[in-house]
Amino acid sequence: MSKADQLFVTMCQDIIENGFSTEGQKVRPHWPDGTPAHTIKNFGVVNRYNLQEEFPALTLRPTAIKLAFDELLWIWQKKSNNVHDLNSHIWDEWADEGGSIGKAYGYQLGKKYTFKQGEMDQVDNVLWQLKNDRYSRRILTNMYNFDDLSEMNLEPCAYSVTFNVKGDTLNAILNQRSQDILTANNWNVVQYSLLLMMMANVSDLKAGELVHVISDAHIYDRHVDIVKELIARPQYPAPKVTLNPEVKNFYDYTVDDLTVENYEHNPQVKNIPVAI
């Protein structure tokens, strides 16, 4: 059975059974009908995914792996903050009339800084270090730029990645300040697993472990019954997910370089209410 499924089930059960409820507290999110969107939450959830054992896609329901990859490329490769450069509509509600989400996500990764090796953005700095100083303990990115927060239509949730090389293996820690477990958990896990695979391949390394650290892991009140049904479903073996090994330039990757095989899963969960 998929280890990603097992981690997801354990995490959700712990939140539902032992989490803190914000019922009765003042909260920012609300439902489209104006009702406050309360959550049950746990603090400091840490999940570890070993990509050398399996690719961590849920089988409890399908994750749209290619769409997740497309969004990852939009942020990390195109470094775009405009939804017109994206092949899905998941960011539309945060976009202005011109399609911009403000100085968030891709904008931050494309912002140039002066490093010891010269002027470059955060992604190019990671690529440079993995090639020239791979055992550095300073290989990281951070999209939570306080100078620009007021100009972001949505402050980054998954905001920082730290890369670390152990022998010939590249590992990473994804830091996330907040996560809607039902709608976004496996989406982000899949994305940053693919990012780790990309970075490893173009740096002649093996993809190792993704450690996902979530400060506020929550399930919305209107999602609890959906999650209970979801985690009771049967589980299947993880799919085989690979990237084209011939691509050696990070900026040459396209969605067509992603292959998903043997992805057996339960039906999709539809009509999930989304808090705003």
- DSSP calls for 185-234: HHHHHHHHHHHHHHHHHHTT-EEEEEEEEEEEEEEEGGGHHHHHHHHTS-
249 among the known binding-site residues? no
Active-site position among 4, 73, 157, 190: 157
Closest CA to 251 of 79, 135, 106: 79
137 among the known binding-site residues? yes
Contact 59, 5 (CB under 8 A): yes
Closest CA to 53 of 1, 130, 8: 1
150 among the known binding-site residues? no
275 among the known binding-site residues? yes
107 among the known binding-site residues? no
Closest CA to 160 of 134, 131, 187, 188: 188
| No. of helices (H) and no. of strands (E), the chain | 6, 10
266 among the known binding-site residues? no
| C-alpha distance from residue 259 to each of 68, 194, 239, 244 (Å) | 13, 11, 10, 8
218 among the known binding-site residues? yes
157 is annotated as an active-site residue: yes
219 among the known binding-site residues? yes
81 among the known binding-site residues? no
Would strands 118-121 and 112-115 be described as parallel, antiparallel, or unpaired? Answer: antiparallel
**Within 13 Å and on the Cβ side, how many CA atoms surround 263?**
17
**DSSP H or E stretch at residue 21:** strand 20-21
188 among the known binding-site residues? yes
61 among the known binding-site residues? no
Annotated binding site for dUMP: 137-138, 177-180, 188, 218-220
Annotated binding site: 137-138, 177-180, 188, 218-220, 275
Catalytic residues: 157
